[in-house]
Chains A and B, each alone.
Chain A
Amino acid sequence: MTPSTVYIGCGAGFSGDRLDAAIPVVNTLTKKKGPKYLIFETLAERTLALAQKQKQQDPNHGYSPFLEDYLRPILKTCAGSGIKIVSNFGAANPIGAAKKISEISAQLDCKNLRIAIILGDDLLNVFSSDEIRNHPTIEGLKINDQEIIAANAYLGARPIAEALRLGADIVVVGRCTDPALVLGPLINEFGWKENDWQHLAQGTMAGHLLECGAQVTGAYFADPGYKDVPNLAEVGFPIAEIKDDGSIIITKADETGGIVSEQTVKEQLLYEIHDPANYYTADVILDISKVSVEQIAANRVRVSGANGKPYPSTLKATVSINGGWMGEAEMTYAGPNALARAKLAIDVLKKRCQNLKTNYPIRFDILGTVSVHSGDMGPDNYDSFGIDGDYRVRIASKGQDKKIIERINQEMLSLYCSGPAAGGGFRQHLTDQIHTASILVDRDKVATKIEFI
């Protein structure tokens, strides 16, 4: 029987999101009558490449590093209340993630949980590196002759729906479109057909609104005096209520901070959208150009008016390549004449870097706020430190040769004994860069497979 309302909550909007955010979402979902789902979106463009590198070092790793932190507090309640979990935390190793979940569920005495894995996003199993390079890039950098670390297609919602239909309690994906985490459960519950563009568009829009977690409930939004948000420290993560006709209400977990308003929903609706009439996904081309939002109660916003067009013949894929090194180094000057000393430091650094005769790009910043002159608890009033300033000099550079980048950072370090008066607080980073590019691949070349463990 088709349910009247499906409830879908979001527990994470990126790989480093609040570890305890899902708890109030799950507690709220347990009170709902009807199918209930919890999603975690934990895979940004570069996250998968980092995961791939981890997997190369240890074949048991390469899934979301926070998987256990996210799941352990809520898994038993979800299992007991029939809340199904869908996430892309499989990253480069969905099988490893599923094994880990199985281990955690055994420890928590959650019996008979069925864990499904969606495979097929990894294009290194489909194409040679040269074949991948031959695809033109649509976003990001050109794919040069650097080693390809990862290449993954964005899978759609159909395999997720199928895994749920086959009885999965938890669905682990590697790379899929973020809205598919929501659309998959909706297809499973409502049986929306592959050419039901209108409903698929509504479901995709619901996914788009949920996929970044608290960004639709007051986070990445608060601007004191203009856009005030109550209790941002305990911001509630979103829950969408979706009906068979595709109508969507966005709300949030009970007894939490944050706010769901027309404004928060509008901002998230347009987040990372280019042409609002043509948002390409694997399942549908979403048109939000005629969408309207309406506050129907406190923290409840109805969103309607999405339209859909047939999905494209291609799937988007992200290719990650080695990108050399990035160095960053910083030093602080504070107190009387601090800005002059910070400028002198920049002058010294520029001359020293000229001597290195490198053509690597180098950037010089002076960051100005209060830091080293305040205690561990921070200042009582950030405005009271404005007289002399507190300036942080920053240098950043990039290039293939790690030694040169290290040497540029070292020029900052040397300012301790060879630079202006009273410079302190040196920090440096040297980061192994991963570059990404987006390509379009023929969707017929990408075969998905569902496995249960």
Chain B
Amino acid sequence: MTAPTWLRWAWIAPAGFLLAFMVVPLVSLAGQVLSPGTIEYVSDSLPWRVAGLATVQALASTAVSLVVGLPMANVLTRYRFPGRRWALALATVPFVLPTVVVALAFRSLVGSDLGSGFLIVVLAHAYLNMAVVVRIVGARWSTIDPRLDIAARTLGASRWTAFRTVTLPALGPAIASAAAIVFVFSFTSLGIVLLLGDSNTRTLESLVLRQTSILLNFQAAAVSAAIQAIVVGSVLWWAARTRNAIPRGALRTFRLRRPLGSARWAVGIVVAATVVIVLAPVSSLVWSSVRSSSGFTMSWWAIFAGFETIDAGSTRIGSPLSAMARSLSFALVTGLVAATVGGLAAMSVLAHRLGRAFALATALPLGISAATLGLATMLAYGRPPVDLRATGLLIPIAHALIAVPLVVAVATPTLRSTDARLVTVAATLGARPSRAWWTGYGPTLRTVMIAAGGLACAVSLGEFGAASFLARADGPTVPLVIARLLGRPGEASFGAAAAMAVVLVVMTTTLVAAVDRGGRRS
């Protein structure tokens, strides 16, 4: 194939981005961990106690996510029925919702009396992460031949025995993989824990934020972040080993089955449960945005009438409309940076001999928690001698770093599936290398970049963890404004937070739906 020369060097831009905004900050963080006095913080019982609490909470969240997600995975990815695609999309919605929105939705659903503590944190995590179970386990389940179950039953196994002895062992690695991801998300949770948790549901992530922004103890925060990184790394390593246990051989997806007999009931019950589980918190949130103690009201939506601040006392909230504009501009920059960096990375993966290794390197930010990323970025670029906080670039850069792996994950397989012979055809018709390459890959690349950029925008709009570290007090993003409003008493604050959350939900889901639609078309 005739590849243009510049393509061989396309990796330099994404590599430089990762070096500047991932490696350098992590080195700064490591410098804090390895500096004198660290032993004092390592021997402190606080981070270890918090790690224990977070482990118990994350295990419970994982168990509930599996209990809710497995029946959904079974029904939504294996049976054919009217509305299946819609139900599958609905089950995925919570995963794309910003964490502060989910926290607010759960608070409005259960009320302020029950609105905090272990149980509600676990339920909110299960709500956010059940889509992980549905997608990962469902993808594996759809490759298991349904006739294996029939074969087992004709050999004397009851339905349950057939499931336990044949289906479950085949699903095992996928379940372990999904469980590991849910555990890591719950273990490193910040937004849910801050807004719904109490002293027994702290995570190392929330401890890092407290040590950084309130106690101003960067060294202690770095130690907490390092402990968290070790736990997360160990779990992900275990998950990678488990994934290798999936039986080799060509996987194929089996045709969806029409539910018969008792399976019809199972499908009906699971679909109804999916609708109720997903929509109940969201409906409650919408209801909260138009409800006051005296009945229906639209007054909470008045915060969008102008750019006036809604500060009260010592709580600085600023103008919701300004926050909205700020979040949108951050999202736009994030989308542009992530699509460019991720797109070039995906092209390099295709063009270079070391493409696979490079793809792995671009995925590294996925394993770094938002708080670790935020803290590391602040240590490197948020204080003298290099203080970029005033430029307003730190948040979009951190968000782009979070979004680049998603862009690469979306773009690489699509580019790979493009027929490379089109480039050869164009070259044989007289096109120069760059033109020939663009003729072959350009149309796909353009569609994928728009879709991936949209995804990055959605990530940025709802991101809470890194923004908590990097936003200036007078320049909060929408999720930060919602969190600040929730920390203020009174129904007006709650109503205003709900109104902002509804707008955030509409913006995020519209973007993700547009990306999904565009992706399917391409």
Q: Decide if A and B are genuine partners.
A: no
Where the two chains meet, the residues of A that have a C-beta atom closer than 8 Å to any C-beta of B are none
